[in-house]
């Protein structure tokens, strides 16, 4: 039975509780959470109470934040404690960060003291830091322990840990000294010493490191987990790949919103109010509207020339649009290259030289097509054709150059490169393309 059929039967009330329990027991927790997304408030509460206790907390971790609040508000204190104490610490923190104060107080009141301490510890770290996305539920082993002792430790505590496939080796003072995998342990002899088997070449993060930089390390080294240490190199937590995927999605969304001249928002589109949507869009729209004064001033300064040859007005949109597209193409590729680590600040000269050559090729190709088009449509006026074609060529060259250099310069002065890729680039390219156009027209047409 697929999810759509189950949802339909739940809404019809055609499934009895015992059959639902069997169905839920055989389903993936993520799929169950998706079913909850399609249910009404009362149905969500009823279905959550039906869930087998063994999977209830896992399903809760994947349910939408609004539905999580609905579930928590409907549960008793003891039920809240049961759910929250089974949640991994990082999932509990994600939930608590989104809840109103009254819900947070009730939740923390029903959490075990040890877990409450771990949650409060993570909540103290800055939002964009490694500490804010780590979990404290991991397996650590002493370097002087034997393999058989390590297996005993894993059996005793592994059930409640986020992962047991990678274990971290520490000294008695909890300083991180190595890493060892479950494969290494299974292939070793029972009396082998952990310190002799471990890999001491560790990729790790500090609690205050930026989470976007950590995502780059996960990508670079193809990691599944990463240990997090404090200033004294003591192991305090680990970051798992599922949390890094969330970081990548959030950072990518933020960059896309900035490139589209939007104020970034953490709220889903359908759950954001109309007023907030307008607020997030208004600022950049206002800036771009006011910046259009620059292009208006440039056009006004050439008013006499346009009156003498009105046909020049017809080509202004084409030049500005082509320049905008050319600049956006370059800036988008550079921002993406910087985001994945392909392009660094030291590569500015290489990028500039490459984009100049790309601009020349594009400019020549588009210029040739444009020359023929204008020549045919404007009574073979070769001076006008030359003016438009040369302006187009220079505009493309300028736009490619500016579009490639601006994001790198922004990074150098600690500004998000995504901001430069559309809003500011559009203003610069529009203004400079008009200056180029009117300057060429003055020289060739003698206006």
Whether 158 and 139 have beta carbons less than 8 Å apart is answered as yes
**Burial (0-12, 13-18, 19+ Cβ within 10 Å), 134:** buried
Q: How far is CA 106 from the centre of its chain?
A: 31
Contacts within 8 Å (CB) and 24+ apart, 183-189: 185/147, 185/150, 185/151, 185/154, 188/147, 189/147
Give dist(CA 41, CA 216) in Å, integer.
40
CA distance 231 to 4: 51
Neighbour-count burial of 412, counting CB atoms closer than 10 A to its CB (0-12 exposed, 13-18 middle, 19+ buried): exposed
Q: Which residues lie across from 237 on neighbouring strands? A: 228
Task: Please state, in angstroms and as integers, the Cα–Cα distance from residue 335 to each residue in 258, 370, 409, 422, following that order.
Answer: 12, 30, 11, 11
Q: What mean pLDDT do residues 253-271 have?
A: 72
The pLDDT, as a whole number, for residue 336 is 82
Phi, psi (degrees; rounded to nearest 5) at 179: -140, 145
Output the pLDDT for position 46: 87
Encode pLDDT of 134-170 as tens digits.
999 999 999 999 999 999 999 999 988 989 999 999 9
Q: Which residues pair with 226 in a beta bridge?
A: 239
- How high does pLDDT run on average in the chain? 88
Residues 416-433, mean pLDDT to the nearest whole number: 79
E strand or H helix at 205, and its extent?
strand 205-206
pLDDT interval class at 423 (50, 70, 90):
low
pTM over 0.75: no
What pLDDT, in 10s, does the model give residues 278-298? Answer: 887 787 778 778 877 888 888
| Separation between Cα atoms, residue 61 and residue 54, nearest integer Å | 13
Task: Give the pLDDT of residue 260.
Answer: 67
């Amino acid at each position: 039975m697929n999810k759509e059929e189950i949802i339909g039967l739940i809404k019809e009330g055609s499934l009895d509780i015992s059959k639902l329990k069997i169905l839920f027991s055989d389903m993936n927790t993520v799929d169950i959470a998706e079913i909850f997304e399609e249910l009404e408030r009362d149905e969500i509460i009823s279905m959550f109470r039906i869930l087998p206790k063994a999977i209830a907390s896992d399903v809760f971790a994947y349910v939408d934040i609004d539905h999580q609040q609905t579930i928590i508000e409907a549960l008793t204190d003891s039920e809240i404690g049961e759910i929250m104490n089974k949640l991994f610490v990082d999932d509990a923190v994600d939930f608590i960060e989104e809840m109103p104060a009254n819900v947070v107080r009730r939740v923390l009141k029903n959490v075990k003291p040890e877990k409450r301490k771990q949650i409060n510890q993570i909540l103290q770290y800055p939002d964009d830091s490694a500490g804010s996305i780590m979990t404290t539920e991991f397996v650590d082993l002493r370097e002087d322990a034997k393999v058989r002792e390590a297996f005993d430790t894993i059996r005793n505590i592994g059930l409640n840990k986020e992962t047991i496939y990678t274990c971290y080796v520490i000294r008695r003072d909890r300083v991180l000294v190595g890493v060892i995998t479950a494969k290494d342990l299974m292939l070793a002899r029972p009396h082998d010493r952990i310190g002799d088997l471990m890999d001491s070449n560790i990729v790790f993060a500090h609690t205050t490191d930026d989470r976007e930089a950590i995502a780059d390390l996960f990508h670079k080294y193809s990691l599944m987990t990463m240990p997090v240490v404090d200033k004294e190199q003591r192991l305090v937590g680990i970051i798992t790949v599922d949390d890094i995927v969330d970081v990548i999605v959030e950072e990518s969304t933020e960059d896309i919103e900035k490139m589209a001249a939007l104020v970034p928002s953490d709220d889903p589109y359908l759950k954001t109010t109309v007023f907030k949507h307008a607020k997030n869009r208004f600022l950049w729209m206002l800036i771009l509207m006011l910046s259009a004064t620059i292009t208006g001033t440039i056009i006004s300064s050439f008013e006499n020339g346009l009156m003498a040859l009105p046909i020049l007005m017809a080509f202004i949109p084409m030049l500005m649009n082509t320049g905008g597209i050319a600049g956006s193409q370059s800036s988008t590729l550079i921002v993406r290259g910087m985001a994945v680590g392909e392009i660094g600040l030291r590569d500015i000269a290489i990028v500039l030289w490459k984009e100049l050559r790309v601009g020349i090729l594009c400019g020549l190709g588009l210029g040739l097509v444009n020359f023929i088009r204008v020549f045919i449509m404007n009574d073979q006026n070769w001076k006008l054709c030359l003016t438009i074609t040369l302006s187009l060529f220079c505009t493309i060259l300028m736009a490619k150059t500016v579009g490639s250099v601006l994001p790198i310069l922004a990074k150098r002065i600690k500004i998000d490169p995504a901001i430069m890729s559309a809003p500011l680039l559009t203003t610069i390219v529009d203004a400079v393309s008009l200056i180029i156009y009117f300057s060429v027209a003055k020289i060739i047409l003698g206006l």
